[in-house]
Chain A
Amino acid sequence: MSERLTRFFASRWGIILAGAVIGVLAPLLQKLGNPPNMGICVACFERDIAGALGLHRAAVVQYVRPEIIGFVLGATVAALAFREFKARAGSAPIVRFVLGVFAMIGALAFLGCPWRALLRLTGGDLNAILGLAGLAVGIYVGVLFLKSGYNLGRSHKTYPAVGWIMPAVMIVLLLLLVFRVKANETSALFFSESGPGSMAAPLLISLVVGLVIGFLAQRTRFCTMGSIRDVILMGDTHLISGLGALVVVAFITNLALGQFKVGVFGQPVAHSSHLWNFLGMALAGLAFALAGGCPGRQLFLAGEGDSDAGIFVLGMITGAGLSHNFALAGKPDAVVEGVNQVGGISPYGMAAVILGLVVCLVIGFTMRDKN
């Protein structure tokens, strides 16, 4: 039975099911209170967690997002149920950390992870097209490195307790959230009182949705970066059929819920600075490709015992702190006194994106196995 289920989840229908479930649940979370076109965004939600912990002090994006906790723990449950939980470590962790940092800086320049890019598109935000184009170009460059021998080396089996660190971190986050731990007026946790961080679906619903998606994605290996990479690398359309299902179903759900508003300027929590939408996601795509998974996939891997993926996640959370502390993240479009102001990133943000691209290229060129 277990083996038959495994084969189903590994099949094309399995991955389509995962994509379709995310496509329904993400817009529903938005309806239930999550920020617009941000039913689920792994990068944004990790950024909110960084804010809640006080790793950055951008007051509008601070909340311990239960979805992220659910993703990791749902994957843990699935991995345990199917005897796939395997503690492993040691594949160039510090490189993965750095890739996580720059992946986040790139994603926050655009204002979203690949999942949110798709959700923004299905909500009518046309800026997502440039983001997705950038993502594809970044992944394409990553594939060139993969073809020329790039890899971060082998991981090794290790003590089971190592694999439990990330699930344990998530359980601690959940407890902090449930008890709304706050030592004094000025200490963490911080919760936004306005802005996207203040918008959230009910805790329990967010957590359960996270668990369901975490479970399904662990079984099916759903990965947005992998979808595009596999098509470029070997014309394999398996993973991308899940991504297609997500887009189609999310589009229909957004239409049905009245959440589809087509446009470029002034889309929710988005900017129409085209070049930096493109370059931000190109950086993120390259970093994901070099690290072997999109931010969601890294969470699911972390849940099944892959501590290298856990390090990437910690890198992303650190990157979120740096991004907001150094004012690198994208600023949404705004209307000030009746005048349209296109948002975008500061010169510091531009420098950080370019630095990130350079660092990723150096990693790609210098970490190739010539044999």
Chain B
Amino acid sequence: MDLIAASGLTKRYGKTLAVDAIDFSVREGETVGLLGGNGAGKTTTIAMLLGLLIPTAGRIVILGHDMARDRFSALAKMNFSSPYVSLPSRLTVAENLRVYCHLYNVRRTDLRIAELADDLDLHDLLPRRAGQLSAGQRTRVALAKSLINRPRVLLLDEPTASLDPDTGDLVRSWLERYRAESGCTILLASHNMAEVERLCSNVLMMKQGRIVDRGSPAELLARHGRDDLEQVFLDIARNRTATAEALA
């Protein structure tokens, strides 16, 4: 069953075509990576999936809800994390999480916050102001916020950007564990190829607003005759090999 389905999804800003009639779907429990260079259309695609941006054309259905007509029903059951969006810095971590418990109508607020604090090792951070946290601590708090409602669909925009390798690895390990426990469906936009290889069962390669290649990491490696996704990424970015789109 597809929990995310996008068809003919297009976004145009004036003469600039940011996303060009893309089609894709993400099955229940699957983790799909959205790869592409800067300006490829990843963030625009995620913003459209979240309802922050109205598509110029196309249709998005998430958890069975048409996002053009009924986005709030879907938004209650999904969540999002990005290092480029902050939580109010003057509020403590506990206060921030409480705000989002109320927004997502999460019952037994204190219990849920304690569960997340256990899972993400946040107990020491709860009384601290969000603005006083390091990048790694902020990422853990942002992840806690994104899981506050036990989402069935999770959209992650570069969740480990600007993290040191150790913290990045902790976050990836935690995401793997959470996915195994919850069966959550994840769409992950990232520039970190090792992360995508580790977490994703399928990958969508974007370039200039189009999905130019797709498949499992193993399929992409085989198709491009490479050993790692970073090489595949560079091949596509520099037009060194034919993509599935070009072959079709």
The judgment on whether A and B are partners is no
